[in-house]
Amino acid sequence: MTSSATLSINPTTLKVGQQVDIESRTWPGINKPGGHATITKLHYDPSTSSNTNNGETNNTNGTPTKIDVKYVLGGSEKQIEIIYVRPYIELARGGRSRRVDQKMNVDSFGS
């Protein structure tokens, strides 16, 4: 799959509790398989934060640069860069089709 064919996520739409897919990051020295996860925390770039009147830093304005996640199958990971985050898309699946139980009798064969 090429990078142009992958779905990208808009960082401004991310929120805590949202389900996302994390890409596999496996290369020499790194073995992070990724998977389906839930966002637990958003980390914002300190250069885009704004100061409030009482001197506290408000990091909720701007775009997040990294996230913390908890994987659905267990485990967690912190400070994942946004470039490895993909939107979770639930696939539409049809229900399981079952065979209709037909009772055979003489009338069903015709003459």
How far apart CA 59 and CA 43 sit, in angstroms, is 8
**How far, rounded to the nearest angstrom, does the alpha carbon of residue 40 sit from its chain's CA centroid?**
12
DSSP 9-31: --GGG--TT-EEEEPPEEETTEE
Condensed to tens digits (0 to 9), the pLDDT of residues 93-103 reads 777 777 777 77
> Which H or E run contains 58?
strand 57-58
Q: For residue 4, what is the DSSP state?
A: T
- Give pLDDT tens digits along the chain (111 positions): 444 445 678 888 899 999 999 999 999 999 999 999 999 999 998 776 555 444 444 556 678 999 999 999 999 999 999 999 999 988 887 777 777 777 777 776 665
The pLDDT tens digits for 54-75 are 444 455 667 899 999 999 999 9
Rounded Cα distance between 39 and 21, Å, is 10
- Please choose, from the candidates 93, 79, 78, 74, the residue with its C-alpha nearest in 3D space to the C-alpha of residue 36: 74
Instruction: List residues bridging with 65 in a β-sheet.
Output: none
Contact status, residue 38 vs residue 69, Cβ threshold 8 Å: yes
Q: Are 78 and 13 in contact (CB under 8 A)?
A: no
